Amino acid sequence: MVSTETLVELAGLVLPPDEEITWAKAFPDGPSVSVRTPERILFVEVVRGWLRISEAPGVAGIVTVTREDEDHSGSVPQRVFLLLDDETPIDLDDPPALAELGRALRHGGLDPLAYAEILITRHWPAPGPREVIVDSPAWPSPRTWEDEQGDFWLSFYAARQDPDATDPDVTLWSVRVPLDGPVTWLRRPAAS
């Protein structure tokens, strides 16, 4: 169970260093908490059933920190953290943190589909619902392999439904996990 104190600490991670939390209220249906500073209001909650990685061993949950004091057209500013059982947070919106998490793909410590889901959810800056394509007659399922240089690879197709388009936008993603060095990823339009 994720504690209220941990949720308040996660809210503090998204604030500027000089901005202090002045008020916090936990909600009984949580774990969730509303946090206020002189500049903003944040809502912090554990989200269940959203990302597949939340069910992985060693994971306490997925925590979202959402800004609630401003009106927004489109998506609301939000940060997403993977919280490990030891309460270590991994910022899924931070490319270096996500690259470090991706190193676990190399030795089977991370489900490739779970990593793909994080990438399309947090690192595909476009509107609309999206999903990793699996078991489709039109597109290959996700696959992993090791190349002759020893790099581990994950490739997958993902579809995003643009609200202003009739057909989904299908993209090919490639993730490279080298023996040493950072994990990198790229996406490009899929050939139809």
Domain end, chosen from 40, 75, 91, is at 91
Polymer length in residues for the chain: 192
d(CA 173, CA 140): 12
Two tokens at 138?
A: 């039109």
* pLDDT, tens only, 116-149: 999 999 999 888 999 999 989 999 999 999 999 9
Q: Are residues 78 and 98 in the same domain?
A: no
Q: Are residues 73 and 149 in the same domain?
A: no
Domain end, chosen from 34, 66, 91, is at 91
Domain range for 138: 94-192
Q: Are residues 104 and 72 in the same domain?
A: no
Domain end, chosen from 73, 91, 109, is at 91
Ramachandran sector of residue 58 (left: φ over 0; alpha: ψ -120 to 50; beta: rest): left
pLDDT at 69: 83
Ramachandran sector of residue 164 (left: φ over 0; alpha: ψ -120 to 50; beta: rest): alpha
Q: Which regions in the chain score pLDDT beneath 70?
A: 72-74, 192
pLDDT at 22: 94
Q: Are residues 112 and 48 in the same domain?
A: no
Residues 155 and 147 sit within 8 Å (Cβ to Cβ)? no
Q: How far is CA 119 from CA 27, 61, 73, 102, 175, in A?
A: 30, 17, 23, 10, 10
Q: Are residues 109 and 65 in the same domain?
A: no
Q: Are residues 65 and 101 in the same domain?
A: no
Q: Are residues 129 and 192 in the same domain?
A: yes
Q: Are residues 99 and 141 in the same domain?
A: yes
* pLDDT, tens only, 16-35: 999 999 999 999 887 999 99
Question: For the chain, what is the domain count?
Answer: 2
Q: Are residues 101 and 57 in the same domain?
A: no
Q: Are residues 81 and 127 in the same domain?
A: no
Whether this model's pTM surpasses 0.75: yes
CA-CA-CA-CA dihedral for 138, 142, 148, 152, to nearest 10: 160
Q: In what order do the strands lie in the sheet with 32-36?
A: 23-27, 32-36, 41-47, 59-67, 78-84, 89-91
